[in-house]
Amino acid sequence: MLGQDRPAVSLEAAIVARRYYIDDKQKNEIADELGISRFKVARLLDEAKASGIVRISVDMPADIDLPLGEELSRAFGIQRAIVVRAIEAAPDATGALIGDAAAQYLAGIVGADDVLGISWGSSLTAFVDAVTTLAPAEVVQMVGGVRAAQMDVSGVELVRRLTRKTGGRAFPLHAPLLVRTATMAEELRADPSLADATGRFSRLSIALVGIGSWNPPKSSLHGEFTDAERADLESRGAAADVCTIVFDADGSELHSPALERAVGISAAELRGVPEVVAVAGGDEKVAAIRAALRSGVVRTLVTDSRTAEALLPR
Nearest 5°: the CA angle 308, 76, 273 is 105
**Is the distance from CB of 85 to CB of 304 less than 8 angstroms?**
yes
How many CB atoms neighbour CB 108 within 10 A?
A: 9
Question: CA nearest 285: which of 256, 250, 311?
Answer: 311
One-letter amino acid of 162: L
- List domains and CATH numbers for the chain: 11-51 (1.10.10), 66-311 (3.40.50.1360)
Q: What is the mean pLDDT of residues 267-279?
A: 97
Distance CA 41, CA 81 (A): 45
Farthest-apart Cα atoms in the chain, separation:
63
Q: How many CB atoms lie within 10 A of CB 249?
A: 16
Is residue 9 scored above 50 in pLDDT? no
Instruction: List, for residues 158-188, the tens digit of each pLDDT value.
Output: 999 999 999 999 999 999 999 999 999 989 8
pLDDT in tens, 106-153: 999 999 999 999 998 889 999 999 999 999 999 999 999 876 445 556
Candidates 210, 219, 202, 220; CA nearest to 270 is 202
Query: pLDDT band at residue 3, thresholds of 50, 70 and 90?
Result: very low
Phi/psi for 222 (5° steps) reads -50, -40
How far apart are alpha carbons 287 and 202 in whole angstroms?
29
Rounded average pLDDT over 78-94: 84
Q: What is the pTM of this model?
A: 0.78
- What gap in Å lies between CA 240 and CA 110, rounded to an integer? 27
Interatomic CA distance for residues 226 and 239, integer angstroms: 17
Predicted confidence (pLDDT) at residue 60 exceeds the cutoff of 60 = no
What is the structure's pLDDT at 63? 87
Question: Which carries the bigger pLDDT value, residue 48 or residue 162?
Answer: 162
Asked whether the beta carbons of 254 and 247 are under 8 A apart, the reply is: yes
Q: Closest Cα to residue 177, out of 197, 196, 155?
A: 155
CA 178 from centroid of its chain's CA atoms: 18
